[in-house]
Amino acid sequence: MTGSDIRAVLWDFGGVILTSPFEAFARYERDHGLPPGFIRGLNATNPDDNAWAKLERGEVDLDGFAELFEEEARRAGHEVDARAILLLLSGELRPEMVTALRRIKQRELALAMLTNNFAPADGGTRSAGGGVGPTRGDMRTARPEVAEVIDLFDVVIESSRVGVRKPDPRFYELACEALGIEPAQAVFLDDLGVNLKPARAMGMKTIKVVDPQDALRELEATLGFPLR
């Protein structure tokens, strides 16, 4: 695949454009005497039907999530405060990613955001990958600096609104349909390999974001122009 084949760049939100919540999870675990990786382990257990999955698909409200998630933790041997954990889903914009978005936009490639998120009681959205989720109207009032970035995107696909979540292949199909492209015409960035696997199987070029600079170098090589 060459840069000339790519018509769209698809982005995860938390952990890619925003910093990851995983460090906050690790601090919570240390502060509360939990085993390292306990929270992520809960989220990875029965990933299609656990409390987190149901929240992101809009199948339960916050009270329902808290009850289910805390019960999952008890079955795994520990007590957690589900609402306190949700408060850890905050992140800051990565300026290098914002620069890349703007340069891609200048080249007139389409941009899409694909985020697993949920709707809290305050009426906004939260990205379970980390941070406030991309509901455009809510973002303009809640976090102006993020709203400006959200407005760069041609398409925003939110699990809480469409009723499916990554890594369900339908989630990626919805993005391609909205953009009017074939999967092979897209490159997708996410910080979780489980979310990249179905996109790659559909024909997308995928990039795992561990170190942002490494990911951007790979994206530059894919697109054929500088992003930094």
Which pLDDT belongs to residue 20? Answer: 86
DSSP state of 48: T
CB 165, CB 56: distance < 8 Å = yes
Q: Report the candidate in 25, 19, 27 with the shortest Cα–Cα distance to residue 40.
A: 25
pLDDT digits (tens, 9 = 90+) for 115-141: 998 876 544 444 544 333 333 334 333
| DSSP helix/strand/coil, 210 | coil
Q: What is the per-residue pLDDT for 1?
A: 57
Task: Check residue 167 and give its pLDDT.
Answer: 95
**Residues 1-25: tens digit of each pLDDT:** 566 699 999 999 989 999 888 888 9
143-160 pLDDT tens trace: 788 889 999 999 999 998
pLDDT digits (tens, 9 = 90+) for 28-52: 999 999 999 999 999 999 999 999 9
pTM of the model: 0.81
CATH number of 22-86: 1.10.150.240
Tens digits of per-residue pLDDT, 166-183?
A: 999 999 999 999 999 999
The boundaries of every CATH 3.40.50.1000 domain in the chain are: 3-20+90-223
> Quick one: which of 42, 31, 25 has its CA closest to 86?
25
Q: What is the largest CA-CA distance in the chain?
A: 52
One CATH from 2.60.40.10, 3.40.1670.10, 3.40.50.1220, 3.40.50.1000 for 3-20+90-223: 3.40.50.1000
Strand partners, 11: 113, 189
Write the pLDDT tens digit of every residue in 76-102: 999 999 999 988 887 789 999 999 999
Instruction: Report the pLDDT value the prediction gives residue 120, as an integer from 0 to 100.
Output: 60
The per-residue pLDDT for 144 is 83
- Span(s) in the chain for CATH 1.10.150.240: 22-86
Structure confidence at residue 23 (pLDDT): 84
Query: How far apart are the C-alpha atoms of 190 and 119, rounded to whole Å?
Result: 21
CB 190 within 8 A of CB 209: yes
At 135 the three-state DSSP class reads coil
Cα→Cα distances 52→41, 130, 143, 197, Å: 12, 13, 24, 20
Sign of CA dihedral 147, 195, 52, 91: negative
Query: Rounded to the nearest 5°, which phi and psi values hold at 142?
Result: -85, -45
